[in-house]
Structure 1
């Protein structure tokens, strides 16, 4: 018997409906998943390179100038005179901002579609362990990281108080980092954010391997190993900086 009933319970008990469970979206889910996979890989590459650059705080000074200050000036002048000062830096910023907007939109869109499709029929604890925890908390961890990104920009890029220290000075990367991470609440927040980043990024890269259609057994094994190795390296490297400053090893 055919009924005009959108109730999932009715379908479950043998009644049939010819109506779709939801309207066809303008952007298909596979396109959103592909977008999130690509933007996630962009973020993974960025945080890895960003971490490597930040580790220059441990290097000795060049002619009295901290190595990380030299690196910061390089980022602002790269491409000159072909492009204006900070031109390449702004290109990177625009690409990252665009990727962030697409990533956030895809996350909320896919989450909303999943909840609408399942209704009250929820699947829980199918995988167990860290993977299950990461899957359930991806949206929450993403929101935490979004707040962290905003705080990080206000703190060490724009120097806006109270996120930034009272002695913030543009261009003085070394001094700004020391002043900021000498505040224990800020150092603890950064360390906690890096732990959240590990969970979010490792699961995101793990999922991206499947969303990109990579099916080869050996290739998947290598990429899945990298999906945990890169976030772990980023977490350890980034945590070492605020920890060393807060403990007074760098001053």
Structure 2
């Protein structure tokens, strides 16, 4: 009697397992393969964005300081342009330092844009098709980072065509290329910003640059370890001050040309 009951109990316990296995096999479903680990982790991508962003921030700060020499007149500004091209001669070829800097900036640009695109793609994939598209992001600056980044990239291309290569129609009709001994950087800048549409586009781009820097510098500091309350406050202050200084310094130049202060 007890043996029969024990056998019946074991049979009843195994029955659900057998049915579950049978239904799983009958459905023909296979276990999903394990996900491959990405070549670059999210942390690595954030570090790449932070480091390259700091390189760009340092460049635009130094570039703005150099551009402010335009207030000293044509002689000083053109001499500064010649100095940039002859820096470290004859140890390096003519304009060698400038080309080295350009290569570094191009590498940083590729890394910055590539890391940003991968992070955005991963964020969208993680949210899936049921993400709330109308859910606002943390701040206005954060929401506009992709937009300001694209506009700034287009501005850089236009800026190079205008004042570096002198390619029309971006450049003014009076653009003159410099030589190893002479430069026409001052005259080219004045001629370019005397066009109101170019001056306004430049000013708009600098406003977007300030917005991008304000949020980007704080994010870079956070991603590189400034997570404490005091460090975060310092990062916010430094990012804001640098962004405003660079924005106002650069914006002052086209308006000074339009108003005849620099001519």
Q: How would you bin the TM-score normalised by the shorter chain? A: 0.7 to 0.9
User: In structure 2, what is the Cα distance between the partners aligned to 1:95 and 1:49?
Assistant: 15
| Contact persistence 1:36–1:103 (CA under 8 A) | yes
The answer for the alignment partner of 1:100 in structure 2 is 109
1:162 to 162, 169, 172: 169
User: In structure 1, what is the Cα distance between the partners aligned to 2:91 and 2:44?
Assistant: 36
| Contact persistence 1:21–1:117 (CA under 8 A) | no
Uncovered stretches (5+) of structure 1, i.e. residues with no partner: 5-17
Instruction: Give 4+ residue runs of structure 1 displaced > 6 Å after superposition.
Output: none
Uncovered stretches (5+) of structure 2, i.e. residues with no partner: 1-19, 25-30, 178-182
- Cα separation, partners in 2 of 1:20 and 1:230, compared to 1, 3 Å: farther
Query: Which one has the largest radius of gyration?
Result: 2
- Cα separation, partners in 2 of 1:117 and 1:183, compared to 1, 3 Å: same
- Cα separation, partners in 2 of 1:202 and 1:165, compared to 1, 3 Å: same
The answer for the alignment partner of 2:72 in structure 1 is 59
Indicate the structure with greater helix content. 2
| Contact persistence 1:57–1:66 (CA under 8 A) | no
Equivalent residue pairs, number? 229
The answer for the alignment partner of 1:68 in structure 2 is 77
**Range moving further from structure 2, 104-113 or 65-74:** 65-74
- Cα separation, partners in 2 of 1:126 and 1:87, compared to 1, 3 Å: closer
TM-score, normalised via structure 2 length: 0.82
TM-score, normalised via structure 1 length: 0.86
| Contact persistence 2:137–2:143 (CA under 8 A) | no
User: In structure 1, what is the Cα distance between the partners aligned to 2:197 and 2:35?
Assistant: 46
Q: RMSD of the TM alignment (CA)?
A: 2.1
User: In structure 2, what is the Cα distance between the partners aligned to 1:250 and 1:19?
Assistant: 67
SS in 1 for 2:226: coil
Task: Give the deviation of 1:224 after TM superposition.
Answer: 2.0
The answer for the alignment partner of 2:241 in structure 1 is 229
Q: How does 1:130-149 map to 2 (within 5 A)?
A: 132-149=139-156
SS in 1 for 2:100: helix
User: In structure 1, what is the Cα distance between the partners aligned to 2:33 and 2:184?
Assistant: 59
User: In structure 1, what is the Cα distance between the partners aligned to 2:76 and 2:258?
Assistant: 20
The answer for the alignment partner of 1:9 in structure 2 is none
User: In structure 2, what is the Cα distance between the partners aligned to 1:69 and 1:205?
Assistant: 32
- Cα separation, partners in 2 of 1:48 and 1:96, compared to 1, 3 Å: same
The answer for the alignment partner of 2:136 in structure 1 is 125
User: In structure 2, what is the Cα distance between the partners aligned to 1:212 and 1:22?
Assistant: 28
2:208 to 196, 214, 228: 196
